Structure 1
Amino acid sequence: MDIKGKKLLLVEDDRNLREVLTEELQDRGMMVTSFEQTPSLTQITEAEWALLDLRVGSENGLQFLKDLKEKFPEVKVVMMSGFGSVASAVKAMQLGAHSFISKPVTPDMIIKAFTDQNVGEEVPEQEISLARMEREYIDYVLQSSDGNITQAAKKLGLHRQSLQRKLRKNIPNK
């Protein structure tokens, strides 16, 4: 698939990553409009592709994904996150994302996520550590509580502060 001339909306709060991705993707022929924060939908006049960070500052990229798909139903969206979990990826796909990729990302990974026709192929099963499973379950419960930490802590049988401590910990690699 030819990507030259594709209009890409990029929402990423990390300035260095946003600038590098913008430059690299423009060098490959894409027309990139980037934002440091989730923009107002009135700022967007058209969108073919959108690369959205799951967490933009204190905002949730999933809500912006939902709003963007309502205004531009044909936009192809790829979500990315450094804190990706199965629950987040599933929720993004339910809201209309084409793909979900984990940071760190490269321009080639991004282009492949947009152009790959084999999205949804079966992923080979890997062993997952207990810490990783715990974090994914916490993310799932937090997602089902619409991001409300107090409500999620009640569902998990934890104090709110305990849940916040768990969320601040690094995500296990495996």
Structure 2
Amino acid sequence: MTKPLLIIDDDTRLTAVLERRFTATGNYSVTTFDRASSALAAPAQPCYAILLDMMIDDELGLEYISALKDRYQPQHLIIMTGYASIATTVTAMKRGATDYLAKPASFNELISKLEGQPATAAVEHKPLTAAQAEWEHIQRILTEHDGNISRTAEALGMHRRSLQRKLQKHSPTKK
């Protein structure tokens, strides 16, 4: 019996690849949505897991976690993001996500999370770089100010435009 899986992401190439890979395992039946609001408007169906992008056009995936969990009652709700930070991880978990993955995540990593198995590759822990520490600090202050750029910039002692430029860059990744 296949497990129903919802993938909610506005990256159509990624969702097509994930749909094909999950379906090919023979263990999952996949439904995709390009917006969280579209998933909530669709008829309710049983669901084993939801893979939810954090930044979907003008929607913030974090804001839809509770509603998606109430509607579909998945065993797993995994947030996927290219903008990973400790602050958003904590927020996602507090709102009911069962896991949080930084993009790009390998297909094996996704399968491991869904099946509750430890990842096959050992993770090497390295200290944060200066850029990563700055990114984490900005994300924490931004979360404390409910996403308000002006108040966050003031709290950080920088100009609003400087903060916006920093946020427009992708988060620094661990190498």
- State the partner residue of 1:26: 23
SS in structure 2 opposite 1:45? coil
| Structure 2: distance between partners of 1:60 and 1:7 | 23
Normalising by the residue count of structure 1, what TM-score does the alignment of the two structures yield? 0.86
State yes or no: 1:42 paired with 2:38: no
Equivalence map 1:157-172=2 (5 Å): 157-172=157-172
Task: Indicate conservation of the 8 Å contact 1:99/1:114, yes or no.
Answer: no
Backbone CA RMSD of aligned residues: 2.1
Q: SS at 1:138's partner residue?
A: helix
The gaps in structure 2 that reach 5 residues or longer are none
Q: How does 1:1-174 map to 2 (within 5 A)?
A: 5-29=2-26, 30-40=28-38, 41-46=40-45, 47-116=47-116, 125-174=125-174
How far has the Cα of 1:91 moved from its partner?
1.2
The residue identity in structure 1 corresponding to 2:166 is K
For 1:153 and 1:131, the matched residues in 2 are separated by 17
1:1-48 CA-to-partner distances (Å, cap 9, x unmatched) read: xxx511111011111111101111111121111011223423141222
Structure 1, gaps ≥5 residues long = none
AA at the equivalent of 1:61: G
- Output the amino acid matched with 2:32: S
Task: Give the aligned length.
Answer: 168
Cα distance, 1:97 vs structure 2: 1.1
Instruction: Please tell me the residue identity of whatever aligns with 1:116.
Output: G
8 A Cα contact 1:101 1:113, kept in partner: no
Q: In the alignment, is the contact (CA less than 8 A) between 1:98 and 1:114 conserved in 2?
A: no
Other structure's SS at 2:108 match: helix
| 3-state secondary structure, aligned to 1:63 | helix
TM-score, structure 2 normalization: 0.85
SS at match of 1:7: strand
Deviations, residues 113-161 of structure 1 (Å, cap 9, x unaligned)? 1222569xxx864211111011011112222323222232222222211
Cα distance in 2 for residues equivalent to 1:166 and 1:143: 15
Specify the SS of the correspondent of 2:101. Answer: strand
Q: Distance in 2 between matches of 1:66 and 1:126?
A: 33
3-state SS of paired residue (2:37): coil
